[in-house]
Structure 1
Amino acid sequence: MNREEKSATIQEIAAQIEASEAIFAVDYRGITVSQAAELRTKLREADTSFRVVKNRLTKLAADKAGEERLADLLQGPTALAFVRGDTAQAAKAISTFTREHAVLTYKGGFMAETALDADSFKAIALLPTRDVLNARFAGVVASPLTGLVRGLGALIGGLALQLGQIADKGLVSGEAAPVAAAEVSAEPEGDKDEGEPDAERAAADPDAPGSEAEDAGGTDVETSDQASNEEE
C-alpha cells in the first residue's frame, strides 16, 4: 500500500468513525471469508459496516476524527463494526453470530459518550430492536385512538336514535300543533258565560224576576195618582 492509498484509507476510516453512533471492536481470529460475508449481510440490516482494519492506520484515523478512546482497543487482530443505525440490532447480530460460530471476541466499544464493556454489550444485545419498539409504540398510540373513535361512533349513533324518537313523536316535524288546536276548538262555547255577573244576565233577560218587580212598582204609582184626582 503506497502513501496515497494509506492516506485514502485513513480518510475513509475517519469518516466512518465520525458518522457512527456506536463502534464495536472485536478480535476476528478464526473467522472464515464466508463467515465474514454472512456477518456483513446481517449487520447491513442494522445499517452497520464490518471492517478488518490495520491498527496503525486506524489510530491515525481516530486521531483525525478526534476519537482518542478507540486507540486503546487497537491491540492485536481487530475488526470494527461501525453502527449508523440500530445499535441493539447490531449488537444482537454480533452476539448471535459469535454464539453460533464460536468466533469473534468482543474487545470493547462505545456509544456516543458511553464506554461499553463486555457486560454492557451483552445488555444492549438483549434489548428489543428499533422496529420492535416502533411497533410497540404504534400499538400504544393506536389503542386510545381506537377507543376514541369507537366512543364517538357510539355517541353519534345514540344521538341519531334520540332524534329519530323525537321525530316519531312529532316534536320536530310540526305535526303536534294541529292536535293542540283541535283540542282548543272542541271546547264548548257555553263555558264562556259561566264567569259573567248575575246583574248582566238580569239586564239581558226581560223575563227575569227582578224585571217583574220593577213593572209592578210602576203600576202602583200610577193607580194612586188617579185616585187622588178623583177625590178632588
Structure 2
Amino acid sequence: MNRDQKAAAVAEIADQIKESQAVFAVDYRGITVAQVAELRGKLRDSDATFRVVKNTLTERAADAADAEALKSVLEGPTALTFVRGDAAAAAKAIADFQKATGGELLPFKGGLMEGEAVDAAQITAISKLPSRQVLYGQLVGLVASPITGLARTLNQLVGGLAVALGGVLEKKESGEIPSGEAPAPAAAPAAEAEAPSEEPAAEAEAPADDTNNSEDPAEGPDNTEETQEG
C-alpha cells in the first residue's frame, strides 16, 4: 500500500468513526473468511460494518476523528465494528457468534459508544439489552393500552346514549310522552298561590297626595335574568 492508498484508507476509517453511533473492537484471531462473511450478514440488519484494519492506520484515523479513546484498544490483531444503527443488536450479533464458537472467537476489547470509551464488560452488557425494535414494540404497547381503554369507554357512553334516545322515541310513539308538547309546569306552592285579599292598613291609609313617598313602578328592581355559562 503506497502513501496515497494509506491516506485514503485513513480518511475512510476516520469517516466511519465519525458516522458511527458505536465502534466495537474485537480480537479477530482464529476467525475464517467464511465466518467473517456470515457475521457481516448478521450485522447488516443493524446497519453495522465489520472491518479488519491495521492498527497504525486506525491510530491515525482516530486522531483525525478526534477519537483518542479508541487508540487504547489497538493492541494485537484488531477488527472494528462500525455501528450506525442499533448498537445493542450489533453487540448481540457478535456476542451470539462468540457463544456459537464456544467463546473462543471475537472477544471484545473495548470501543466507543456515543463518543465515550467503553470496555469489554460494558459492551457485553450492551449486548444483553433489548433491541431497538423490541423497545419500540414495548413502547407502542404502553401507549396503546390507555387509548384502547378510552375507546372502549367512549363506545360504552355512545351506546348508552343511543339506548336512552331509543327509549324516549318509543315512549313518544306509544303516547306516554306527548309529541311536540312541553311538559306542564309544576303547581305553585299554596303559600304563593293565594294572594292577600286586602292591602295592609298602613298602605291603605296613606295620603293620596304624598308624592314624595310614592314609588314609581318604572323604577322598581331590575327583573332581568342572568344566564350562567355552564
User: Do both share a fold (TM > 0.5)?
Assistant: yes
Give the letter aligned to residue 166 of structure 1: V
1:166 Cα deviation from its structure 2 partner: 0.9
1:67 and 1:33 map into 2 onto residues whose CA distance is 29
Q: Report which of the two structures shows the higher radius of gyration computed on alpha carbons.
A: 1
Alignment of 1:47-126 (within 5 A): 47-101=47-101, 102-126=104-128
SS at match of 1:176: coil
Please, what is the CA RMSD of the aligned residues? 2.1
1:178 and 1:10 map into 2 onto residues whose CA distance is 89
List 4+ stretches of structure 1 deviating above 4 A.
177-180
1:58 and 1:113 map into 2 onto residues whose CA distance is 16
Task: Looking at secondary structure, tell me which structure has more helix per residue.
Answer: 1
1:115 Cα deviation from its structure 2 partner: 2.3
Q: Deviations over 1:139-194 (max 9, x none)?
A: 111111111111111110100100110111119x99616999xxxxxxxxxxxxxx
Give the equivalent residue in structure 1 for 2:16. Answer: 16
Out of 26-35 and 61-70, give the one that drifted further. Answer: 61-70
The verdict on how the C-alpha distance between 1:166 and 1:107 changes in structure 2, with shifts beyond 3 A counting, is same
The verdict on how the C-alpha distance between 1:177 and 1:118 changes in structure 2, with shifts beyond 3 A counting, is closer
2:28 and 2:180 map into 1 onto residues whose CA distance is 97
Please say if 1:27 is aligned against 2:27. yes
Give the equivalent residue in structure 1 for 2:133. Answer: 131
TM-score, normalised to structure 2, is 0.74
Give the letter aligned to residue 116 of structure 2: T
Q: Deviations over 1:178-221 (max 9, x none)?
A: 999xxxxxxxxxxxxxxxxxxxxxxxxxxxxxxxxxxxxxxxxx
Give the equivalent residue in structure 2 for 1:196. Answer: none
Give the equivalent residue in structure 1 for 2:44. Answer: 44
The verdict on how the C-alpha distance between 1:2 and 1:177 changes in structure 2, with shifts beyond 3 A counting, is closer
TM-score, normalised to structure 1, is 0.73
Q: Deviations over 1:105-139 (max 9, x none)?
A: 21111211432222211211111000000011111
Q: Give the number of equivalent residue pairs.
A: 179
The verdict on how the C-alpha distance between 1:81 and 1:157 changes in structure 2, with shifts beyond 3 A counting, is same
Structure 1 residue runs without a partner (length 5+): 181-232
2:162 and 2:100 map into 1 onto residues whose CA distance is 63
Contact 2:67 2:115 in 1 (8 A): no
The verdict on how the C-alpha distance between 1:94 and 1:177 changes in structure 2, with shifts beyond 3 A counting, is closer
Q: Identity over the aligned pairs, expressed in percent?
A: 54
1:174 and 1:77 map into 2 onto residues whose CA distance is 94
